[in-house]
């Protein structure tokens, strides 16, 4: 059985994230890392493998992104993935969801060709930069697979997968049969840290780099110039004007708070 886990390299959320002059996300000037939410995807892919002892299961970490994005794949390898695939091509820069999902789908197909099958694609619930939560569904659409998303618990037996998730007004159990595209939330369980052994082992694991040509994708299908959406402008949020801060002494805080709320007509 073969599992592909999609990992995105994103600018650090705790740094000052910003845009380039062409309104694409600055992916070079800001330190990047494996999206924290994709660590949960790697963790669930590894647990899927570990829970099914005796079966031959490989986990391949896949990223689409600039040179430095290979760090996201490396981290996944250090955590325990077996092999990595990095799709990098200057033409991809500025791609929107539609183009990114195309490249991811073609890469999954390529992995499928080499490995014989791809039975499970695991994604994070959202990337921490774009935060669309749409790539897994697009990938499923392109691959012609069911999508089972936002899992907080994943269980499997044979080709059956069951997940638990929180939906709008209820908790749901979803069932589907492999192959599927799965996405998992940060409720699915802490992601492991790479061990020293894992870090050393990762250096010897196979890591392939593909260009668009390797995937049979024409450069005219991706990138900023053909994006189906166009950014007109970006504006930094004006800093909030400093508010009034009072210190509660002998119960004065509550009165001041209520006074403020009343002055704003909230009471």
Partner 1 sequence: MSEVLVVIDHADGEVKKPTYELLTIARRLGEPAAVFFGSPDKGDAVAEKVKAYGAAKVYVVDDAQIKGFLVAPKAEALQQLAQKAGPAAILLPSTFEYKEVAARLAIKLESGLITDAVDVQEGGVTTQSVFAGNYTVRAKVTHGTPIITVKPNSAAPEQAEGAATVEAFTATVSEAARTAQVVATQPRQSTGRPELTEAAIVVSGGRGTGGNFEPVEGFADSLGAAVGASRAAVDSGWMPHAFQVGQTGKTVSPQLYVATGISGAIQHRAGMQTSKTIVAVNKDPEAPIFELVDFGVVGDLHTVLPAATEQVTARKG
Ligand X SMILES: Nc1ncnc2c1ncn2[C@@H]1O[C@H](COP(=O)(O)O)[C@@H](O)[C@H]1O
Residues engaged in binding ligand FAD (CB under 6 A)? 36-37, 186
User: Shortest gap between Cβ of 233 and ligand FAD (angstroms)?
Assistant: 28
**Binding of partner 1 at residue 244 (CB under 8 A)?**
yes
**Binding of partner 1 at residue 119 (CB under 8 A)?**
no
User: Shortest gap between Cβ of 39 and ligand FAD (angstroms)?
Assistant: 8
Rounded CA-CA distance 247/90 in Å is: 54
**Binding of ligand X at residue 84 (CB under 6 A)?**
no
3-state secondary structure of 118: coil
Contacting residues for 146 by C-beta, under 8 A, at least 6 apart: 140, 176, 177, 180, 181
Alpha-carbon distance values, 146 to 88, 141, 173, 177 (Å)? 27, 8, 15, 9
User: Shortest gap between Cβ of 102 and ligand FAD (angstroms)?
Assistant: 27
Peptide bond into 237 cis (omega under 30): no
Contacts 24+ apart (CB under 8 A), 173-178: 174/148, 176/146, 176/148, 177/146, 178/119, 178/120
Q: Which of 3, 32, 34, 38 binds ligand X (CB under 6 A)?
A: 38
Question: 157 to 176, contacts with ligand X by CB under 6 A?
Answer: none
CB neighbours of residue 112 within 10 Å? 16
Binding residues for ligand X, rule CB under 6 A, total 24
Q: Which of 15, 28, 131, 173 binds ligand X (CB under 6 A)?
A: 131
Structure token digits, residue 236: 């930094």
Sheet architecture: strand order including 180-184 = 147-151, 180-184, 120-124, 2-6, 58-64, 83-87, 207-210
Report the partner that residue 123 touches, choosing among partner 1, ligand FAD, ligand X, none (CB closer than 5 to 8 A by kind): ligand X
Residues 96-115, one symbol each (x = binds ligand X by CB under 6 A, - = not), give: ----x---x-----------
**Binding of partner 1 at residue 185 (CB under 8 A)?**
yes
Q: Which of 2, 44, 60, 63 binds ligand X (CB under 6 A)?
A: 63
Report the interface residues with ligand X, using CB under 6 A.
6-8, 35, 37-38, 41, 62-65, 100, 104, 123-124, 126-127, 130-136
């Amino acid at each position: 059985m073969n599992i592909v886990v999609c990992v995105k390299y994103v600018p650090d959320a705790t740094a000052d994230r910003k845009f380039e002059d062409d309104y694409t996300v600055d992916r070079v000037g800001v330190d990047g890392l494996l999206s924290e939410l994709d660590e949960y995807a790697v963790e669930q892919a590894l647990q899927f493998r570990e829970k099914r002892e005796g079966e031959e299961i490989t986990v391949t970490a896949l990223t689409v992104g600039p040179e430095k994005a290979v760090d996201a794949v490396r981290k996944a390898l250090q955590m325990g993935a077996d092999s990595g695939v990095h799709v990098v091509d200057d033409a991809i820069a500025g791609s929107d969801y539609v183009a990114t999902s195309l490249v991811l789908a073609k890469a999954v197909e390529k992995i499928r060709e080499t490995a014989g099958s791809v039975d499970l694609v695991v994604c994070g619930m959202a990337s921490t930069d774009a935060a669309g939560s749409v790539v897994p569904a697009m990938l499923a659409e392109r691959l012609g697979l069911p999508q089972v998303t936002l899992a907080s618990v994943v269980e499997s037996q044979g080709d059956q997968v069951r997940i638990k998730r929180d939906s709008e007004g209820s908790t749901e159990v979803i069932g589907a049969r492999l192959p599927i595209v799965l996405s998992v939330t940060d409720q699915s369980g802490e992601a492991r840290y790479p061990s020293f052994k894992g870090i050393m082992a990762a250096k010897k694991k196979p890591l392939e780099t593909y260009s668009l040509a390797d995937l049979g994708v024409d450069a005219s299908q991706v990138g900023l110039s053909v994006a189906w959406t166009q950014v007109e402008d970006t504006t930094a949020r004006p800093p909030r004007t400093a508010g009034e801060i009072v210190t509660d002494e002998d119960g004065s805080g509550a009165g001041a708070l209520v006074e403020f709320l009343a002055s704003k007509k909230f009471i």
